[in-house]
A = this chain, B = another copy of it.
Amino acid sequence: MATNIKDVSRAAGVSIKTVSRVLNNERYVRPATRARVEEAMARLGFRPSAAARALAGGRSFQIALMCSNPGPYYLHGLIAGLRGRCAAEGVRLIVHAYDIEGTELSEDVRDMLRQLSPDGVILTPPIADLEPVLDALEAANTPYVRISPGISPGRSAAVAIDNEAAARAVTGMMIGLGHRRIGFVVGHRSYAVSNQRLAGYLDALRDAGLGVDLELVQQGWFDFASGQAAADRLLDLRDPPTAVFASSDDMAAGVLAAAHRRRLSVPGDLSIAGFDDTDLARSVWPPLTTVRQPIAVLAERAAELLFERAEPGLRLVPYELVRRETVAAPGAC
């Protein structure tokens, strides 16, 4: 049997309550007593049972990450960003990766909350925008932080970048380089950032006095294959774009693949820009990116807000505009 709090109290010659105090860093323990207890804990190799602490105390020392259909780089970034802080807080990370959408989810969330009573929850799109899920979280009084929320940003602590401004900036940059026909690949419809990025693109065109050609706006689903397909549709137009702005990095990689397939030189024949949400661009295909804001940074900030019980409100994390050789003036090659 593993040593428990009772063994420690006996070894240290104190009551179990005092051991508990030391364990939880409570006040009103004489330094000498504390030292004695700590020595006993170390000597016996005592590790408190998470189950018992959870049952008695309410804290479960676990936080849950909830995401739906996360791409590899997105998931990796999230976990990388959360890991450090969780370790520092002595908290374990439960990963809930769903592949469903919709309301059945809130049922599952309620279950999870009752079963695990996690100390906190991190939500990513599109789950971050499911009202029933938020309701369940609030009903259970469980702290949660949303990443890139699309609705009611003031409802909880949340982090995001200003997607509309970023998309506007990228589009503006392309226009500034002389591009007049700029293709756009929209992201998955149930993600709010898709609309925000589209809005920024449209805004920039309007600001520049350019008309919007709806042919140039193609639907994608945030993954490589759909980006490639969207690019193919764009490049097959009678009057194809000289530049393509994909609103996610996976899709931008797909656009690049489509260009390579057609033996187009990039950026000579086609300029490509994208969002580097997940660090994909930096690690797998360096010359892709324009807006850089790795999800890991957002996740780290989210963990910070969670553990510090931050007030509700949306924190905008600054993004970085990186200009690489994939975006050039038309006809530059």
Complex interface: chain B residues within 8 A of A225 (CB): 283
Our pick among B48, B117, B224, B284 for the contact of A51 (Cβ within 8 Å) is: B117
A259 to chain B, nearest CB (A): 11
Complex interface: chain B residues within 8 A of A253 (CB): 284
A144 located at the interface, meaning its Cβ lies under 8 Å from any Cβ of chain B in the complex: no
A321 located at the interface, meaning its Cβ lies under 8 Å from any Cβ of chain B in the complex: no
A309 located at the interface, meaning its Cβ lies under 8 Å from any Cβ of chain B in the complex: no
Question: Does B49 contact A55, Cβ atoms closer than 8 Å?
Answer: yes
A93 located at the interface, meaning its Cβ lies under 8 Å from any Cβ of chain B in the complex: yes
Most B-side CB within 10 Å, residue of A54, A60, A72 = A72
Question: Does B79 contact A71, Cβ atoms closer than 8 Å?
Answer: no
Question: Does A71 contact B76, Cβ atoms closer than 8 Å?
Answer: yes
Using CB atoms, name the residue of chain B closest to A257.
B285
Our pick among B83, B97, B250, B284 for the contact of A79 (Cβ within 8 Å) is: B97
Using CB atoms, name the residue of chain B closest to A51.
B54
**Hey, what's the 0/1 contact readout for A76-118 against B, CB within 8 Å counting as 1?**
1101100100000000111111010000000000110011110
Question: Does A95 contact B79, Cβ atoms closer than 8 Å?
Answer: yes
Complex interface: chain B residues within 8 A of A75 (CB): 72, 75-76, 79
A223 located at the interface, meaning its Cβ lies under 8 Å from any Cβ of chain B in the complex: yes
Using CB atoms, name the residue of chain B closest to A263.
B265
Q: How far is the CA of A47 from the CA of B198 in the complex (A)?
A: 43
A73 located at the interface, meaning its Cβ lies under 8 Å from any Cβ of chain B in the complex: yes
Complex interface: chain B residues within 8 A of A115 (CB): 47-50, 61
Most B-side CB within 10 Å, residue of A55, A71, A80, A117 = A55
- The oligomer's copy count stands at 2
Question: Does A95 contact B95, Cβ atoms closer than 8 Å?
Answer: yes
Our pick among B76, B79, B99, B260 for the contact of A260 (Cβ within 8 Å) is: B260
A-side interface size class: 35 or more
A70 to chain B, nearest CB (A): 8
**Hey, what's the 0/1 contact readout for A151-169 against B, CB within 8 Å counting as 1?**
0000000000000000000
Complex interface: chain B residues within 8 A of A77 (CB): 72
Using CB atoms, name the residue of chain B closest to A80.
B97
Complex interface: chain B residues within 8 A of A52 (CB): 51, 55
Complex interface: chain B residues within 8 A of A214 (CB): none
A2 located at the interface, meaning its Cβ lies under 8 Å from any Cβ of chain B in the complex: yes
**Hey, what's the 0/1 contact readout for A3-26 against B, CB within 8 Å counting as 1?**
000000000000000000000000
Question: Does B284 contact A224, Cβ atoms closer than 8 Å?
Answer: yes
Question: Does A114 contact B49, Cβ atoms closer than 8 Å?
Answer: yes
Using CB atoms, name the residue of chain B closest to A286.
B257
A80 to chain B, nearest CB (A): 7
Seed contacts A47-B114, A49-B55, A93-B95; 6 additional CB < 8 Å A-B pairs = A70-B76, A72-B77, A72-B278, A72-B280, A79-B95, A92-B94
20 interchain pairs, CB-CB under 8 A: A2-B114, A45-B110, A47-B110, A47-B115, A49-B114, A50-B54, A50-B116, A51-B55, A51-B60, A70-B76, A71-B76, A72-B73, A75-B79, A76-B76, A92-B96, A223-B283, A224-B283, A250-B284, A253-B284, A260-B260
Closest 5 CB pairs of A and B: A51-B54, A72-B76, A47-B114, A51-B55, A72-B72
